Amino acid sequence: MGWFPSPFDNLLCMLLGISFTVWFTLLLVFIIVPAIFGVSFGIRRLCMKTLIKIFEWATLRIERGAKEKKHLLYKPYTNGIIAKEPTSLEEEIKEIRRSGSSRDLGAASQEFELSDIFYFCRRGMESIMDDEVTKRFSAEELESWNLLTRSNYNFQYISLRLTVLWGLGVLIRYGFLLPLRVTLAFTGVGLLVVLTTLVGCLPNGRMKSFLSEKIHLMCYRICVRALTAIITYHDSENKPKNGGICVANHTSPIDVIILASDGCYAMVGQIHGGLMGVIQRAMVKACPHIWFERSEVKDRHLVAKRLSDHAEDKTKLPILIFPEGELLKSGVHSSAIAPLARASGLCMWAAGIGLWEASFSPAFLFLGLSSGTCINNTSVMMFKKGSFEIGATVYPVAIKYDPRFAEAFWNSSKFGMVNYLLRMMSSWAVVCSVWYLPPMHKEEGEDAVQFANRVKAAIARQGGLVDLLWDGGLKRDKVKDTFKEEQQKLYSKMLVGAQEDRSRS
Amino acid sequence: MGSSNSTLSKIPNLGRLIEETGFTPAHIKRLYKRFQALDKGNKGYLSPQDFGSVKELATNPIGDRIIGAFFSQGQETVDFHSFVRILAHFRPLDKNRAKRPDSPEPINSRISKLRFAFQLYDQDNDGKISRDELLQVLRTMLEMQVTEEQLESIADRTIQEADLDGDNAISFDEFRKVNADTFLRIPSPVTPSQITVWLIVL
């Protein structure tokens, strides 16, 4: 007597074996091979269109259901919390006064009234409840529901069909898409390391750079498919060329993958240990990236020199840099990043969605991960004053994510990196648009801050993002004077103009 | 499936808050998110610096006073309850509220709104708007645009018109009477999920 493998076990093993083979063949044919050649079957776009239709149906269903049950629908941002009416200062104050019916409308009503304060008070309260700046930095709330409960606040039981659909969505996302994507991610990264090491053995020359370009592109494309990112590139004729610096706005850590899958860039960052370090060391064998040892980072001159050397060498790839956002976490000093940031002489700003709370770009993410710290305000300030030592051509790039499919914004205070990646991979897809803007040079007589603002404005305009000059408390005193004056001017024009009339008559 | 309820469950004394302020659960949830967004260090309360990140408040001439209105005497922090209570002043009037003699004055009644505005003027809380306090407000609203003499003449005229008992200051009753004639601004139809900020003066 013993344990005999029953025929069922054999059958099971066979089935498993077959399904794995089928799985990998499909993977190879539909995903990896196209990635190698940079073509696409268009399957993803088809899925995208189908999904949009389903989302619209789901949203309508929720709204209908809520109306039936008389639940208050938590309607996302159309105008924000407040029903703001865009009236001017003068109109509103007049109306507040005019509602005192016993008064005569004339010069007398143009004088100061105790009720005038109400206008300013109301404006103030409106802005406390809901303002442009802070609004941008929480995750954009959706008009339509994308079958992810993480982005929906209204989810209560509405109908069986909706719940079934949602359940099906969960099944597909976690049961099918997630394993697929994780496999792809591992494949992509693994291939990158292996192949770049192999290419690194070749002697420097045209062959080597040609091969390394192809390999980098291929592996990044696999990673892009690992996230199911559907990217639309606009204006590819403005793609960054050698000997320049590519600057993009930063929403999420996957920005670098998105850009790098369309062109070859030299990355900037600090060397890590562990898996990251292995990847970095492999990459640098194939083509020159700029990795710094931790000790080197503190030496700003060395950093600046290396960056400018690289940028001046026309045969080298364009440097990819994400301007950092300002991090409002208090108390923690950065030792590593501030010198690097200062030394590279680039100016930073907070542009685009999510930059406020976001951690660093992937290029600088390496720094962030190792030192686990954030910039404090003074570093960013010093940054802005840093001179543009490199003086190379700047190629701005605008990246904009479609929030309907996945929440690309990474709230680094809430989620860690792995958590974020898992969320990305278990969403439907990452849909984004990339615009390559024409190159910009620093003009004569322009200082670094102005140049930075110019570039930032161009990026913001293209991406339809709000161009935020606001520094979040940094320059509060200065703002008080200039902007407040405008309000005061408007108000006084109303009053003083009337007084003059009165004295004349 | 419970994401909507988990936020509300984090708020202590939710029922009492709803009753006192008259906000709906959806409003409160929205305000809670706003509170969290303003609370940069995740401290659970707001300090005056947190209000500094609101850009439009900094460009508002009486921005500092508005911020000060959130912090009661000597306090350096404002928790979520107080935050919501202050904002509740600006809810539209409940037109059909039955007048129960024993119930406390609702936060968004006309009197409460007036009192809020009065306190913006009366910074030392002595119950009167003195000439100096009025001048201070005028100065922040007009600053460089008018001369000191013009400011003083405006202040004098205002007190003259409002002051009934001749003490050269405006008490709350006089303030009410001056604004007695300004009537309700009829709000346009508002969906329940949007909070409209109206200051109704009467």
Higher pLDDT: A322 or B201? It is: A322
Q: Is the CB of B54 less than 8 angstroms away from the CB of A97?
A: no
| Average confidence (pLDDT) over A399-411 | 68
Check CB contact under 8 Å for B182 and A137: no
In chain A, what residues touch B192 (CB-CB under 8 Å)?
A: 72
Residue B1, chain A, CB below 8 Å: the answer is yes
- Residue pair B105/B111 in contact (Cβ under 8 Å)? The answer is yes
pLDDT level of residue A469 (50, 70, 90 thresholds):
very low
Confidence check: pLDDT of A203 > 60: yes
CA distance A118 to A97: 10
Instruction: Identify the DSSP state of A266.
Output: E
Q: How far is A54 from chain B (nearest CA, A)?
A: 19
Interface contact A117-B37, CB threshold 8 A: no
| Tally of domains within chain A | 1
Q: What residues of B are in contact with residue A101 (Cβ under 8 Å)?
A: 181, 183
Instruction: Scan for tokens 């629908």, then name that residue.
Output: A73
Residue A471 CB-half CA count within 13 A: 17
Closest residue of chain A to B143, computed from CA coordinates: A488
Distance CA A63, CA A272 (A): 49
Contact assessment for residue A244 and residue A394, using Cβ atoms and an 8 Å cutoff: yes
Which pLDDT tens digit goes with each residue over A302-315?
766 777 777 677 77
Report pLDDT for A448.
Answer: 67
- Our measurement of the distance from residue A382's CA atom to the centroid of its chain's CA atoms, rounded to an integer in Å, reads 24
* Edge-to-edge order in the sheet of strand A430-436: A229-234, A430-436, A393-402, A244-248, A319-321, A266-270, A290-292
Distance, in Å, from the CA atom of A432 to the CA atom of A407, rounded to the nearest integer, reads: 11
Higher pLDDT, A82 or B69: B69
Helix (H) or strand (E) holding A206: helix A206-226
CB of A165 less than 8 A from some CB of B:
no
Q: Give a yes or no: residue B48 inside a domain.
A: yes
Choose the most confident range, by mean pLDDT, from A40-44, A64-68, A89-93, B146-150.
Answer: B146-150
Interface of A with B in 377-436 (CB under 8 A): 413
Asked if residue A103 lies in contact with residue B181, where contact means CB atoms within 8 angstroms, the answer is: yes
Mean pLDDT along residues A181-196? 84
User: Could you identify the residue written with the tokens 């940031």?
Assistant: A341
Give residue A83's pLDDT: 46
Asked if A211 and A411 touch (Cβ cutoff 8 Å), the reply is no
Distance of CA A166 to the CA centre of its chain: 27
Whole-number Å distance between alpha carbons of A30 and A52: 23
Residue listed under structure tokens 């390391």: A193
Question: Is the pLDDT reported for residue A424 higher than 50?
Answer: yes
Q: How large is the ipTM?
A: 0.81
d(C-alpha B67, C-alpha B56), whole Å: 12
Q: What is the mean pLDDT of residues A462-487?
A: 51
Amino acid at position A294, single letter: R
Q: Is residue B98 pLDDT above 70, yes or no? A: no
Is residue B98 domain-resident?
Answer: no
Contact in structure between B37 and A137 (CB atoms under 8 Å): yes
HSE-up of residue B125 (Cα within 13 Å, Cβ side): 6
pLDDT at B193: 35
**Beta carbons of B31 and A129 less than 8 Å apart:** yes
Residue A107's pLDDT band (cuts 50, 70, 90): very low
Residues B20-72 have pLDDT tens digits of: 888 877 778 778 888 888 887 788 888 888 887 777 787 788 888 888 888 87
- Give the alpha-carbon dihedral of A254, A256, A260, A261, to 10 degrees: 10
Q: List chain B residues with CB under 8 Å of A476.
A: 52, 58
Those of residues 109-128 in A touching chain B at CB distance below 8 A are: 111-118, 120-128
Highest mean pLDDT among A117-131, A148-162, A165-179, A451-465 belongs to A165-179
Place of tokens 């020359």: A205
Residues A244, A249, A254: CA angle, nearest 5 degrees: 100
Q: Please indicate if any CB of chain B lies within 8 Å of the CB of A155.
A: yes
What angle do the packed helices A274-286 and A206-226 form, to 10 degrees? 140
Helix count and strand count (H, E) for chain B: 11, 2
- How confident is the model at residue A467, as a pLDDT? 43
> In the Cβ-directed half-sphere of A179, how many Cα atoms lie within 13 Å?
8
Q: How far is the alpha carbon of B99 from chain A, nearest alpha carbon, in Å?
A: 25
Between A64 and A475, residue with greater pLDDT: A64
> pLDDT: is B5 or A124 the higher one?
A124
Nearest to A81 among B30, B154, B198 (CB): B30
| Model pLDDT for residues A229-259, shown as the tens digit of each residue | 888 888 888 887 777 777 776 666 677 788 8
Phi and psi of B7, rounded to 5°?
Answer: -65, -45
Asked if the model's pLDDT at residue A319 lies above 50, the reply is yes
Interface test with A, best of B115, B145, B179, B200 (most A CBs within 10 A): B145
B58/A134 Cβ within 8 A: no
For tokens 């003259």, what's the residue?
A: B160
pLDDT of residue A367: 24
Say what the pLDDT of residue A126 is: 77
pLDDT tens per residue, range A8-49: 788 888 888 888 888 778 777 777 777 777 777 677 778 778
- The shortest C-alpha distance from A388 to chain B (Å) reads 29
In a domain, B136, yes or no: yes
B35 touches chain A (CB under 8 A): no
B118 reaches A (C-beta below 8 A): no
Give domain status of residue B116, yes or no.
yes
Q: What is the CATH number of the domain that holds B188?
A: 1.10.238.10
pTM of structure: 0.51
CB atoms closer than 10 angstroms to residue A231:
17
Q: State residue A241's pLDDT score.
A: 75
Residue-range definition of the domain harbouring residue B113: 13-93+106-201
Element (DSSP H or E) covering residue A62 = helix A43-69
Phi and psi (nearest 5°) for A391? 65, 25
Q: How far is the C-alpha of A306 from the C-alpha of A268, rounded, in Å?
A: 10
The pLDDT value given to residue A122: 77
Contact A280, A291 (CB under 8 A): yes
| Rounded CA separation A189/A216 (Å) | 10
Q: What is the pLDDT of residue A355?
A: 26
Q: Which helix (H) or strand (E) holds A230?
A: strand A229-234
Q: Does A78 fall in a domain?
A: no
**Cβ-contact A341, A280 below 8 angstroms:** no
pLDDT at position B161 over 60: yes
Specify the pLDDT at position A472. Answer: 38
Q: Which amino acid is at A240?
A: P
What are the pLDDT digits (tens) for B167-194? 888 888 888 888 765 534 433 333 333 3
CB-CB neighbours of A267 under 10 Å: 22
CA angle at residue A499 from B201 to B159, to 5 degrees? 50
Query: How many folded domains does chain B comprise?
Result: 1
Let me know if residue A486 belongs to a domain.
no
CA atoms within 13 A on the CB side of A443: 7
Q: Tell me the angle at which helices B148-162 and B131-142 cross, rounded to the nearest 10 degrees.
A: 130
List the one residue out of A45, A59, A49 whose CA is nearest residue A166: A59
Residue range A86-99: mean pLDDT, rounded = 62
Answer with the residue of higher pLDDT: B58 or A103: B58
Residue of A nearest to B155 (CA): A112
Return d(Cα A370, Cα A331) in angstroms, integer.
18
Q: Report the share of chain B in percent with pLDDT over 70.
A: 78
Q: Is A74 on the interface with B (CB under 8 A)?
A: yes
pLDDT at site B49 = 83
Write down the H helix ranges in A372-475. Answer: 377-385, 417-425, 448-463
Pairing of strands A319-321, A244-248: parallel
Contacts of A411 in chain B (CB under 8 A): none
Higher pLDDT, B115 or A351: B115
Mean pLDDT across the stretch A184-199? 84
Which residues in chain A are contacts of B121 at CB distance < 8 A?
114, 117
Handedness of CA B172, B174, B178, B180 (dihedral sign): positive
